[in-house]
Structures are given as C-alpha cells and as structure tokens.
Chain A
Amino acid sequence: MTSATGAPAAATRRRMNPTLRRVFRNKSIMFGSVIIVGLVIVALIGPWITPMDPLQQDIWERYEAPRGLWVDGEFNTRYILGADELGRDLLSRLIIGARVSLMVGLIATGISLVFGVILGAISGYVGGIVDDVIMRVMDVLLALPGILLAIAIVAALGPNIVNAMVAIAIVRIPTMARVVRSDVLAVKTEEFVEAAKALGQSHLIVLFKHILINAWAPALVLATLGMGTAIVAEAALSFLGLGTQPPQVSWGRMLSVGREAIRSAPHVTLYPGIAITIVVLGFSLLGDGLRDVFDRRLKDT
C-alpha cells in the first residue's frame, strides 16, 4: 500500500486500473487505512512492545498520574500514561486491549457478513414467501434499538466476550441482509444472469458466480463501517459489565473501571476513549471512502 503512494506509483500508473487509482487517490481511504494498519500492527506485536507488564499490580502506584516520556531529563518507560486502580500500567493495557477490540470487530463483523450475505442472497434470489419470511424476521430484529437488542441477548446468554460478539453480530445481520438482498434483486434481472440460467447452470452457481460477484461492493462498505460500530458496541457492553470479563483487558472494561475514580484519576477514562475514537474514526473514514469509490448508491446510509 505504501509503495503505491510513494515513488513507484508513477511507474505503475499506466498499468493500474482506474478503480484502483481512485482508491489510492481517495484521502479518506488513505487516512483510514493508515489508522487501521497501525491498529493491526499494535494488535499483532502488542505483547512485545508493552513498556511494562500489563497485568503486574503495584499497590503503591494506584492511579498514578501520567508521567510522560521524559522524567528528569531521562527517557521514561514507566507509567507513561499513568496507572489504573491496581497500579497497572495504562499504556501497556491499552496496547494489549487493541487485540480484543480488533478481534471483536473482525469476528462480529465476519459473522454478520456471512449470515447477512446468505440470508440476503436467498431472500432476493428465491423471492416469494421465503423472501417475505426472512425479511419480516429482519424487520423484527430492527424493531429494537441495536444496543438494546445486544444487551438483551447478552443478558440471556450470559455476560462474556463470546456472547457479546454473537450479540453484536446478530444486531448487524438485518442491515447487511437488506443491502445484499436489494443488490441481488438489482442484478438478478440482468441479461448475463438470464444467459447463465439459459445455459442450464445450477442456481447455486448462478447466485454465487454471476450475481454475488457483481454485488459485493455495498456489503464490503457496510462491513467496514460495521467494524467501527462493533468496536463501540463491545466497549459499551464491557462498560456495562456485559462484555469482556477480567482478567481479559479491553478498552471498554478500562472505561468501566475508570468511572469509579473519575474525580481523583480522570486519566484512567481519558486514554481508552481516545483509542476507541481514533480506531472508529479510521474505520468510518475507510468505509466512507470505499463507498465513494465503489458505490454511490449507498450514499445516505
């Protein structure tokens, strides 16, 4: 990615197809990608770059204020962003927490993408009563505010990170299914689909090879935007005590613990929130950019 923005871009320009060129020229996509690549790197190498042990407690350093990178003219690696209620290093915990956020986002969005595409494709392709039933079920799921549905599902299944991911995924399925359905409907009547059918190809092949391959862009855009939504939802659930459970570290949990000390140690709630905001911003910039490039129809979603 970086190679294409730098010097070699000029050399490849002649061969690069116009869509790809629009991707690389889109500022929104570029800014968003930089943030997300940063997040992925931190999540991958997290355990090796934490300045301190994220689980090590030190009762004398409870709610230690941020010390910054320079202390008495020397480079500092201890409590750069301060400590939490058990004297654990905030920056190290933020770094470790990136994993949970990214994982929840990826898995929840992945589940909603798979089920959304399957349900939407069946609904649009088969039509008739199958379509009616699937879409009515989706309407029912959309009849509850998203976070309320997620809270209700987690309340039933039990509060832990896996159930939180399932709940977040279920909340996102209806929107995905609706978008995929409308795309399948639009492509279904195209001549090349009729031609494939006339050639005697099976429904599955027609659906996957001819229809879905021409209808993936809006689903991709929605999935990208959904990553941000999923990460915020995890944070909200964990904040309410319904997501990640200790000793797992997540940004939402850090906020929930920080709330107890909002008077004496506001820094404990400050940094996890900034981290969430930056990551969500990254996904929404990327999603908006992809939408502009691939799909102008979705503009108001």
Chain B
Amino acid sequence: MLKYIVRRMLSLVVILLGVSIIVFMLVHLAPGDPVRIMLGEEAREEDVERLNRLYGFDRPLPVQYVIWLGNALRGDLGTGIRSQLPVTLLIFERMPATIELALWSLVLAVGVGIPLGVLSAVRRNSWIDFGSMFAALVGVAAPNFWVGLILLSQVALHVSWLPIGSRGPSFVDAIVAMVTQFDFMVLWDHFRYVLLPALALGTSIMALITRLTRSSLLEVLNRDYVRTARAKGLRGITVVYGHALKNALLPVVTVVGVQFGALLGGAIVIEVVFAWPGVGRLIVSAISQRDFPVVQGSVLMLAVVFAIANLLVDLSYSLINPRIRYD
C-alpha cells in the first residue's frame, strides 16, 4: 500500500510538471507579443520594452520556464496585472468557495441520487421508476449552466428566501458561529446561498448516480446470496439495505470519484451564472482582462486540486473495496 502511494505521488509530480509546461506555454501560444496584448494596441514602445524586461520575456523560453516554475514552487505565481495583488493571494481567497461548491453539489448528488436509484430499482417499472429514469436521462443531457439559469429564473425569483446569486457565509464560518454563539442563522444563510448553485452543478452527476444505483442494484438483487437471504425469511427491507445495497454501491463510488474532477471544471461556468466568488469567475474575468498571470496561476492551482482529489479518490477505493490490492 505504501509503495503504491509513493508511486502514485511520483507520477503525480511528473504529470503536474507537464501541466505546468502547458500552463506556462499558454501565454506564449497567444499570437503576438503578450505584453503588447496586455497593454493594448496604442502602448508606447518603451513601456512594452520595460514590461518585457520586468516579466523576463526578453530571455530564452526554457530559462523563463525554469524561473517561473521555481517561483511557483515557492508559492509566488506573480502579480495580477489589473489588481496588482499577488496571484497566490487572489487564488487562495477564492479556492475555498470553489471547493465548497463542488463538495456540496457532490453531497446533494449522492444524497438525492442514491435514494432515488434505490427506489427505482425496488419499485421497478412503477411510475416512480419511469419518472426518475426520464428525469435522469434529461438531467445527463441538460447543460448544467443552463439548469442554473432556469433555477434562477423559475425558482430563485419566486422564492423569497432564495438569493439570486453570490455567496453567503462560508461553511467553516457557519460552523464556528454555531459552536461558539449557538447561532444557527449563519448556517441557514450558508445553505440558502449554496443550494441552487450546488443543485445546478450537481444535476448531471446526480442523474448519473441515480441511473447507476438502479442498474447496479437490480443486478445485485438477482445474485444467489440475495436469494439465499430472501429464502432465510429476511424482510425485503433488510435484504435490500443490509445485503444488496452495500455491494451495489461499489460502481457508484467509482463514478463519484471520476466525476469529482468534472465538478471542478463545471464549477467555472456555474460560478459565472450565480456570481459565486470562486476561482472559476476569477479565471473568466482574468481572461476578459487579458490578465495572464492570474489565468496561469488559477489553471495551475485548479490542476493541483484536481490531481489531489483524484489521488484521494483512488486511495479511498482500497478502504471501500477490500478486494483491491495494490502491489
């Protein structure tokens, strides 16, 4: 197991190095002089030269890369051109919001998807089954940012306690307020703000989980040990929840792991829809302002979070499925 973890970490480092090359090249892929693009067409020649020297753009590319990477490893991702603030600071202010959104949408997707899938499997061919399977089919196909727009126009505008966009207090703040001041309103505020964005972001994965739980449970319910349990005279509920579901959920867990990365990506667009102050909105506004250091830094940090999440998911499989052995 330890050997496996070490090997995974090593390959992670190699892949992140590759990502850093892509991220570094982003600026240089752009047609034309990056500094000229940033400053605009009417920039003076001396300003362009000065900025070129400031950013080290006058040196050979490999040298620039090594310097940039060295700085990045020390936590220095440069300075935002518009805000004149360190990029690292900008990202660390917003990353918790993005991760929080992705995690809540995962919780929602699992919390709704699994019960719905179980219900569909147990009541196979009932109207619940058809209804939820149809919803799941549409849910996978509908773009989640559009679901977000619809939730805003059809739900948020008509329900007084649901805000239209932006973020409330963070989950951590809410818990702190609850524990130290017995103030539950902060937690309520937190949920009010996160509910619709998380729902929109989680739609497709929720639909996927529902379908997978249903098909996986149906398959397991046909196995011999389930028949044996039934033959022993166990109640239907005990059979489904005590015996079958545990085994049926393995493929679901795999999908949840694979999809978590997609949530981080989808969050970018959802953040724009709901004015959620996360890294996604930071990237999008940085692109429109041609603030390349911010774009580079954000993409790199999201890749790091993505990689770590994938690693954690892989490692957790061994806890859930004792049959997996790493050697």
Let me know if B143 and A144 touch, CB within 8 A: no
Contact A273 to B149, CB < 8 A, known contacts A155-B287, A280-B141: yes
Question: B261 contacts the other chain (Cβ, under 8 Å)?
Answer: yes
Question: A147 contacts the other chain (Cβ, under 8 Å)?
Answer: yes
Let me know if A273 and B18 touch, CB within 8 A: no
**11 contacting pairs across A/B (C-beta < 8 A):** A139-B15, A139-B18, A144-B22, A144-B306, A145-B261, A148-B303, A155-B295, A157-B30, A232-B143, A239-B272, A277-B141
Let me know if A258 and B306 touch, CB within 8 A: no
Binding site for A on B (CB under 8 A): 11, 14-16, 18-19, 21-23, 25-27, 29-31, 137-138, 140-143, 145-147, 149-150, 152-154, 157, 251, 261-262, 264-266, 268-269, 272-273, 283-284, 287-288, 295, 299, 302-303, 306-307
Let me know if B288 and A241 touch, CB within 8 A: yes
- The complex places the Cα of A140 from the Cα of B15 at a distance, in Å, of 5
Distance in angstroms from A242 CB to nearest chain B CB is: 7
Q: Which of A139, A144, A236, A262 has the most CB of B within 10 A?
A: A144
B26: chain A residues at CB < 8 Å are: 152-153, 155-156
A139: chain B residues at CB < 8 Å are: 11, 15, 18
- The complex places the Cα of A235 from the Cα of B149 at a distance, in Å, of 13
Let me know if A152 and B295 touch, CB within 8 A: yes
- The complex places the Cα of A281 from the Cα of B139 at a distance, in Å, of 9
- The complex places the Cα of A138 from the Cα of B117 at a distance, in Å, of 34
Let me know if A143 and B15 touch, CB within 8 A: yes
- The complex places the Cα of A137 from the Cα of B30 at a distance, in Å, of 21
Contact A140 to B22, CB < 8 A, known contacts A151-B268, A152-B295, A156-B30: yes
**Contact indicator per residue, chain A 140-177, by CB within 8 Å of chain B (1) or not (0):** 11011111100111011111000000000000000000
CB closest chain-A residue, reference B165: A262
Distance in angstroms from B156 CB to nearest chain A CB is: 9
Distance in angstroms from B252 CB to nearest chain A CB is: 11
Using A143-B303, A159-B287, A270-B150 as known contacts, list a sample of 10 further A-B pairs with CB atoms less than 8 Å apart, ordered by residue number in A.
A140-B15, A148-B299, A151-B283, A151-B287, A158-B30, A235-B146, A239-B145, A262-B153, A266-B154, A277-B143
Let me know if A284 and B143 touch, CB within 8 A: no
A158: chain B residues at CB < 8 Å are: 30-31
Distance in angstroms from A4 CB to nearest chain B CB is: 25
- The complex places the Cα of A240 from the Cα of B268 at a distance, in Å, of 10
Distance in angstroms from B284 CB to nearest chain A CB is: 6
Contact A281 to B273, CB < 8 A, known contacts A148-B302, A157-B31: no
Contact A148 to B268, CB < 8 A, known contacts A156-B26, A157-B30, A269-B149: yes
CB closest chain-A residue, reference B147: A273
Let me know if B251 and A147 touch, CB within 8 A: no
A148: chain B residues at CB < 8 Å are: 264-265, 268, 283, 299, 302-303
A245-263 residues with Cβ-Cβ distance < 8 A to B are: 255, 258-259, 262-263
B251: chain A residues at CB < 8 Å are: 300
Q: Which of A147, A266, A270, A277 contacts B269 (CB 8 A)?
A: A147
Distance in angstroms from B229 CB to nearest chain A CB is: 27
A281: chain B residues at CB < 8 Å are: 137-138, 141
**Contact indicator per residue, chain A 217-254, by CB within 8 Å of chain B (1) or not (0):** 00000000000100010011001111000000000000
Let me know if B141 and A143 touch, CB within 8 A: no
Let me know if B299 and A152 touch, CB within 8 A: yes
A99-155 residues with Cβ-Cβ distance < 8 A to B are: 136-137, 139-141, 143-148, 151-153, 155
For chain A, the bracket of interface size reads 35 or more
Distance in angstroms from B18 CB to nearest chain A CB is: 3
Question: A276 contacts the other chain (Cβ, under 8 Å)?
Answer: yes
- The complex places the Cα of A147 from the Cα of B267 at a distance, in Å, of 10
Distance in angstroms from B293 CB to nearest chain A CB is: 12
Let me know if A269 and B31 touch, CB within 8 A: no
- The complex places the Cα of A252 from the Cα of B150 at a distance, in Å, of 14
CB closest chain-A residue, reference B261: A145
Let me know if A276 and B143 touch, CB within 8 A: yes
Q: Which of B11, B141, B261, B273 contacts A259 (CB 8 A)?
A: B273
Let me know if A156 and B29 touch, CB within 8 A: yes
B266: chain A residues at CB < 8 Å are: 145, 147
**Contact indicator per residue, chain A 263-275, by CB within 8 Å of chain B (1) or not (0):** 1001001101100
Let me know if B302 and A284 touch, CB within 8 A: no
- The complex places the Cα of A151 from the Cα of B299 at a distance, in Å, of 9
B153: chain A residues at CB < 8 Å are: 262-263, 266, 269-270
CB closest chain-B residue, reference A279: B141
Let me know if B19 and A143 touch, CB within 8 A: yes
Q: Which of A156, A235, A242, A255 has the most CB of B within 10 A?
A: A156
A153: chain B residues at CB < 8 Å are: 26, 29
A232: chain B residues at CB < 8 Å are: 143
Q: Which of B30, B152, B262 contacts A146 (CB 8 A)?
A: B262
- The complex places the Cα of A141 from the Cα of B137 at a distance, in Å, of 29
CB closest chain-A residue, reference B305: A145
- The complex places the Cα of A284 from the Cα of B138 at a distance, in Å, of 11
CB closest chain-B residue, reference A263: B157
Let me know if B265 and A147 touch, CB within 8 A: yes
- The complex places the Cα of A140 from the Cα of B264 at a distance, in Å, of 17
A284: chain B residues at CB < 8 Å are: 140-141
Q: Which of A144, A255, A272, A300 contacts B303 (CB 8 A)?
A: A144
